[in-house]
Amino acid sequence: MAVRTLSRPDAYADAPEKKVTLYLLMLGFVALLIGSLFGPLQALNYSNIDLYPFLRPLVQSYYQGLTLHGVLNAIVFTQLFAQAVLLYLPARSLGLRPNMTLAWVSWWMAFVGLAVAAIPLLGNEATVLYTFYPPLKGHWAFYVGAAVFVLSSWVTGWLVLEMWLRWKRANPGRITPLPAYMSVVHWLMWFLASLGLVVEVAVFLIPWSFGWIEGVDPLLARTLFWFTGHAIVYFWLLPVYVIAYTVLPRQAGGKLVSDPLARVVFLLFLLFSTPVGFHHQFSDPGISNFWKWVHTILTMMVALPSLLTAFTIAASLEVAGRARGGKGLLGWVWALPWNNPSVLAFLLGFILFIPGGAGGMVNASFTLNQGVHNTTWISGHFHMQVAGLVAMGAMGAAFWLIPHLTGKPLVRPGLAWASMWLWFIGMFIMTFALHWMGFLYGVPRRSYIAEVPEAYAGAGPWMVLNAISGVILFVSIIFFFYVIFATALQRRRDFSQVQEIPFAEAISKPEGNSLALLAERVWLWFAVAAGLVLVAYGPVLVGMLVNLNPVPGVRLW
Amino acid sequence: MNESHHAFERYEAIWLRVVLVMILVFLVLIAYTALNYGQTIPRGAGQIRVGEVRAGSEFANPRLEQVGNEYVAYVQAFAFGYSPGEMRVKRGRKVTFYVASPDVVHGFMIERTNINVEVVPGYVSKVEYTFDRPGTYKIICHQYCGLGHAKMLSRIVVEE
């Protein structure tokens, strides 16, 4: 076996897109490492074990740690993973190369934006949590850095669109390959969805943080935030879905059951991801119950594509399990390759995703929401989803993607496997406890509970579970990051051993299928999605804009 | 394994119907509960200038007052506490809470009830509730508002 060393400067000369993908991916994992290390501190806080005083003067408060945890994990890591995977997979599936200059522009924008935002975050000048609701007012560098960071995702989106249009011109009348189709729909969804956040930050928060305008209407800011804030969870989730649909079936030893259905699922996400934000604002004044009800209906509709995904992925895994010799009603489950850490990550992630999705439908229910809104139930819910399937899908993908990109074999696969089991067990215990603490005892989310130990004494046993899960997750973090950094930083490199991306075959193919043909009219569906957003948000936003009630900013941390 | 996609398509169609019926049932239940038990859903009660919360509005005189057989409360949620402090009401009587903030976004959640309100500066939140069981209920700020957030707690005592 030919073994080369890292010193070769042109290791990526044949495939420069691999290098930019690797840089996006690894920058994301560095953010995830730092962000995740605060996680156990949060978990321990719930059982009145307060480690934050030991972190001074590096970290000033629980809330500064929580801000870093949320921003790095939920904004930075997730976006960079999407930028890496949904640039590279469409490029491979179309057989095209993205514009490399712009690809590096997007990486540098992400890097510089992150660095600029990191200064006030680390300096305790922007302890506003990842929702940064005004009138809490952070340092301007936080808003400017975050804006540059988010806009770098638009560059990636444009790169994918440009590749797709190039492919369409060269292949008139042909149906777009599934990974590229899903990526295009994902980026179009994000262009539409991110408008709220971009307007909030660019039009209101940045001028306000520079002192050019006196105040910001907090309700309008919240509304613009949640315009993007719910769709952003699909922005995080869909890259993992792309891998689950197009790679996982093959890794598990089977095929994707239906290619056209996968397209329909992504179109439904394009339609229903964005006009649903009021379900985060059920408890807000200033939005009428009528509009909250409209968003309730649309939110329930966005459950549809995930429920269809549950069917398709389960059926595809069943095909795999039976192909591997599994028999009977459940025999195929045990026949799946549970020893493959990449497959294991998805299997466990999907197991978490089922109760997480059910909890999501509770949150989306206008009336039930009152029982859980802003309690730790919500933290439990989104950790099940984002720290569950999204993070585990990304981690599972890293186990084959980093070797694929670098030509370096995965170091200690056994440790990778163990990290996924520990992550799953830790997350399961933690999210279970958070759900019940919030629902039964009204423990609020994002709260420095260790400061008021007697206040929630009744929830004691659940809080102990939090501490236990925090320790388990900490061990998992160490294992996982050891594996991926040891893999990426080793000197061994052998591109001749690299396998192509294991894209799965489909049983039901798109060619000649009427659903697939209908789905191919992407611009038409984009227009419908934009129209739906206009209807669901237009009247409310216009009402808020003509009745602006600006409030001056304050710093209370 | 029979890879004929007709079997999948049949199950797929059944599953799609199951899902659509499930969503419809949920929506009907939500509508029913909202129409019949929806008085605890917070409503907006107009805008207010933040400067007037502490001077020049009903909230400048935060209080719980008895109006006939019911109560009306004007509550200030501020960094980091509530005014009036402890409130006392009789069980079985409707309480209408008006809540406003003079500074940042706060929460107004009463444990073991459906009262769950975001208090957004510039807007008045209104919510109604009838306490059926006597006891002491914590009022909890459930929206991050700064360093004192966790300590932003108050109480309402429901008497026989």
pLDDT in tens, A20-51: 999 999 999 999 999 999 999 999 999 889 99
Q: Is the pLDDT of residue B2 over 60?
A: no
User: What is the band of A5 on the pLDDT scale with cuts at 50, 70, 90?
Assistant: low
pLDDT in tens, A162-194: 999 999 999 999 999 999 999 999 999 999 999
Has residue A279 got a pLDDT over 50? yes
Q: B8 catalytic, yes or no? A: no
Q: Which residues of A touch B49 (CB under 8 A)?
A: 549
pLDDT score at A3:
52
pLDDT for res A7: 52
Q: Which tokens hold the place of B31? A: 């509508």
pLDDT tens per residue across span A349-371: 999 999 999 999 999 999 999 99
Average pLDDT, chain A: 94
Catalytic site includes residue B26: no
pLDDT, residue A48, reads 87
Angle at which helix A303-323 crosses helix A341-364, to 10 degrees, equals 150
On whether any CB of chain B is under 8 Å from the CB of A296, the answer is yes
Residue with tokens 């976004």: B105
Q: How far apart are the first and last CA of chain B?
A: 68
User: Across residues B114-127, what is the average pLDDT?
Assistant: 95
Angle, alpha carbons A34-A35-A38 (nearest 5°)? 95
Q: Please name which of B113, B121, B110 lies closest in space to residue B154, comparing C-alpha atoms.
A: B110
CA A283, A62, A209, A102 dihedral sign is negative
Q: Which residue of A has its CA nearest to B143?
A: A374
Per-residue pLDDT, A327: 92
Mark which residues 369-388 of A lie under 8 Å from B by CB: 369-371, 373-375
Separation CA B102–CA B87 (nearest Å):
20
In chain A, whose CA is at the least distance from the CA of B48?
Answer: A549
Confidence of residue A1 (pLDDT cuts 50, 70, 90): very low
**Residues A320, A322, A325, A331: is their CA dihedral positive or negative?**
positive
At B1, the pLDDT band (50, 70, 90 cuts) reads: very low
Could you read off the pLDDT of A489-548 as tens digits, one per residue?
Answer: 999 888 887 888 999 999 989 998 999 999 999 999 999 999 999 999 999 999 999 999
pLDDT band at A14 (very low <50, low <70, confident <90, very high): confident
pLDDT at A6 over 70: no
- Residue B39 pLDDT exceeds 50: yes
DSSP-derived secondary structure letter, A315: H
- A258 and B8 in contact by Cβ < 8 A? yes
Which tokens is B22 given? 């499930």
pLDDT of residue A266: 97
Q: Calculate how close chain A gets to B153, using CA atoms only, in Å.
A: 9
| Dihedral over Cα of A113, A116, A122, A128: its sign | negative
Active-site choice (A69, A222, A383, A404):
A383
Q: In chain A, which residues have their Cβ closer than 8 Å to the Cβ of B146?
A: 63, 136, 556-557
Q: How far A419 CA sits from the closest chain B CA (Å)?
A: 33
Which of these is catalytic: B8, B59, B80, B131?
B80
pLDDT number for residue A338: 97
Per-residue pLDDT band for B40 (boundaries 50, 70, 90) equals confident
Q: How far apart are CA A190 and CA A235, in angstroms?
A: 6
Q: What average pLDDT does this structure show over B120-126?
A: 96
For residue B3, is pLDDT > 70?
no
Quick one: pLDDT at residue A495?
Answer: 82
Active-site pick, B59, B78, B97, B131: B78
CA of A247 to nearest chain B CA: how many angstroms apart? 19
Cross-chain Cβ contact B123/A286 below 8 Å: yes
- Model ipTM over 0.90: yes
Q: Please state, in angstroms and rounded to a whole number, the distance separating the CA atoms of residues A398 and A243.
A: 11
Per-residue pLDDT at A260 exceeds 90: yes
The average pLDDT across A273-301 equals 95
Residues of B in contact with A301 (CB under 8 A): 23
Q: Do A293 and B34 touch (CB under 8 A)?
A: yes
Could you report the per-residue pLDDT of A95-120, keeping only the tens digit for each?
A: 999 999 999 999 999 999 999 999 99
Burial class (CB in 10 A: 0-12, 13-18, 19+), B148: middle
Beta strands B106-110 and B81-83, pairing class: unpaired
Q: How many residues are recorded in chain A?
A: 557
